[in-house]
Structure 1
């Protein structure tokens, strides 16, 4: 019997090994926890359920699919809008919230929270201790835009077996691709974990989210992650928090959530000061500094610190049914608390003249439901610009009036007719 050529066999084994790596060889490693398919939806089935919810509740939910592409790489993001009362009750203004889940592919639990939260908002599921009347009493004055799965392409890689993949479909970390302090690398920089891309907003997913945030102008932004338990406010790229009243209000809100839903165990503070490393080019820092969102947060909703760093399914996601249900129930309740109490915190800031008046006008339904034009959108943009012009003209009018009065009175009698400058607002 002739001998079998060794070289072709080695080539074949090498090819099979490469093929297994591309298709997720680590999923067959017995030491790693597989995705509990009985608990977690696939990305396709989750988005299918989201769209089914929208179809069943058109009076409360609308959905749109936003698409961008770059050099042959394309991304689609489904955005769901909750707006139960098209006209605010009691003359109140609409409180706008923008939530993003699933920015990192391996963080499966975050998208499950979004699906459950949508089912609660529509009334298909209930929360213990939260009656429908109470829920509707504060939801009627909210507009919520929710991204259930920001990184669909990266999530597909995880489901194919690359359990530790956090980046998008072409290897870029979407939470390092924003413009605030983009591209800076710390000494422990890991390109697998933190590749920022070729430039700010190089990725279609980030381009979509930037346009969404600029057109919607939320009062609150929450970027939902897993890997630990924490409630972060800006900044991620430096070990400080913003100055002034709004910083104290953000911290107070987070401390309330920590007490009621983390049993005071969550880290609270700036991401850069609390997590143990600085992160550059993050979405939350961009929302705070550029979009000027009054309250911008990052929520870390679960982490198993005892899991191996290679066992990413277990590290970033609960893998037993009891923990799974506990995490989802607890964080849905936390979001409901945010929806209920958030307007009160922001009203304090508004009364203290923290925010620009334009951010507090009610917006028309076409903008809310995503049917408006580009930029800041439709009537909102025109109204904002008009208000800015009116304020500018008013200040110029007052200033010119003061100058004319001063010149007129000084000519007649400096002693009798000089105006009191401190009594005239500028």
Structure 2
């Protein structure tokens, strides 16, 4: 039905439609660039950004540790317990890819070699039921090896606090277990596991990125390393595969597989150490993830179902059931490619790999990056550390039930069981202790999480010009996916010979419908992604969604 409208009213309608289209386009651009990214700084936004930063919370280093305090405490702990603690410093250097391969804010760092010093603490001790830990006497023929990684993303300061807290608790065992609510029997099992284990801890993996956060720029949203690469996108599995809303400013996976020194150190440690457990700790939400990150389902491995059961119990006992427990690609709300978790599970064959997300505040102001990823009060920080310290020891308590652990650990649970090595083949682990048989996941079309594994993404197309800057990508960061811009304008179509001509009322009606629909879809997509997209840093106006991994 057509309604007669005055020319003035149509002009107002045209203006409103144009405003809606502009708002929708701006929001859509933000939605694509904030996917853990940095939106380009529009003209006139510097003052607004600076004003917003006054409202954003800042790290209080009277109860958070800065980098110097972290390494001071770690060094002191190692010195005081040198019989069973050791600090190794691994120096690693990567060749420069060339300044043109980096985005603007990292271009200087890309001109020269990029060097890091990775610091890793090794713990190997006997933990008696009373008295302090002591140097282990005698060699264990079948030890448990665990590798815990904290601070892979610089902005997630709370994860470094947890890593140091784990180290801090060890000399006082078993007293911290009692304080955290473990029974005497549970504490005895945890101590037995620890006495049969060698634990390596990287308290702060991304030291150069952390320096940017603490430095003059106060880059409180810094996620990447010192030359603009997301370490957790630099590993081999599905490296450089991109989603439609990929933003290289935040998820750039590097100049080649394992191009970054931090990722190289992780791989070298794992190949030399051969851990049974790799734990990668992040913040941005409350969750515990199994593989896969690059698919929406779990691997075809019954041991992963056992892992989920362990994480479910941890969720019940530490999160009151509110933590997400699922494959990463299903629970976080998006697919991530080139991650540490998928690499360690698929390439290095680590039996139990998990990403933990230990904190996220979705109620902070949209410009508060620090508050989004970290508790902002002393009491809040203590509560988070206690919660996830308890979760860490709960993981150790339940490791004997996992079929991928060594026989010396599996022997700690009651009941008969095969103490031999796990079987190989399509079904890696077939039997739990006590004789229970697990059905291969491929026989269950729904999978252990109620969702069948996702298929591989389609083959990528050639990369278009950089959508976020004035110059195109150098080509070093590979292909991209997604629809390409194109198509004639309304005026072109209307004026072309033989083409239909459209009245302005009809055009504006369509514009309004499209604009409203676009805004609704963007809101739905934000909800699917697990939270709104946020502008945060006052200097560079970076934006991201609320997830750490």
The TM tier, using the shorter chain, reads: 0.7 to 0.9
- Of 27, 30, 35, the match for 2:54: 30
Separation of aligned partners in 2, 1:306 and 1:193: 22
| CA apart distance, 1:244 | 3.0
Q: In the alignment, is the contact (CA less than 8 A) between 1:88 and 1:140 conserved in 2? A: no
Confirm or deny that 1:198 pairs with 2:255: yes
Unaligned runs of 5+ residues in structure 1 are 1-20, 357-426
Separation of aligned partners in 2, 1:294 and 1:88: 27
- Of 373, 376, 390, the match for 1:319: 376
Deviations 1:294-351 (A, max 9, x none): 0110000000011244311100000111111000011111111112221332356975
Root-mean-square deviation over aligned CA pairs: 2.6
Separation of aligned partners in 2, 1:320 and 1:239: 35
Distance 1:189 1:43, change over 3 A: same
Separation of aligned partners in 2, 1:350 and 1:333: 30
Residue 126 of structure 1 is matched in structure 2 by: 176
State which drifts further: 77-86 or 249-258: 77-86
Aligned residue pairs total 335
Distance 1:126 1:278, change over 3 A: same
Residue 94 of structure 1 is matched in structure 2 by: 143
Q: In the alignment, is the contact (CA less than 8 A) between 1:88 and 1:141 conserved in 2? A: no
Equivalent residue runs for 1:169-184 within 5 Å: 169-184=226-241
Confirm or deny that 1:105 pairs with 2:160: no
Confirm or deny that 1:77 pairs with 2:118: yes
- Of 217, 224, 229, the match for 1:167: 224
Separation of aligned partners in 2, 1:299 and 1:51: 26
Residue 84 of structure 2 is matched in structure 1 by: 60
What TM-score, normalized to structure 1?
Answer: 0.74
Residue 40 of structure 1 is matched in structure 2 by: 64
Separation of aligned partners in 1, 2:68 and 2:121: 16
Residue 243 of structure 2 is matched in structure 1 by: 186
Separation of aligned partners in 2, 1:134 and 1:60: 20
State which drifts further: 62-71 or 291-300: 62-71
Residue 155 of structure 1 is matched in structure 2 by: 210
Distance 1:180 1:134, change over 3 A: closer
Higher share of residues assigned helix: 1
Residue 397 of structure 1 is matched in structure 2 by: none
| CA apart distance, 1:87 | 5.3
Separation of aligned partners in 1, 2:363 and 2:63: 21
Distance 1:164 1:26, change over 3 A: farther
SS of alignment partner, residue 166 of structure 1: coil
| CA apart distance, 1:92 | 7.2
Distance 1:120 1:77, change over 3 A: same
Unaligned runs of 5+ residues in structure 2 are 1-44, 96-112, 127-134, 411-416, 425-549
Separation of aligned partners in 1, 2:142 and 2:230: 36
Q: In the alignment, is the contact (CA less than 8 A) between 2:190 and 2:396 conserved in 1? A: no
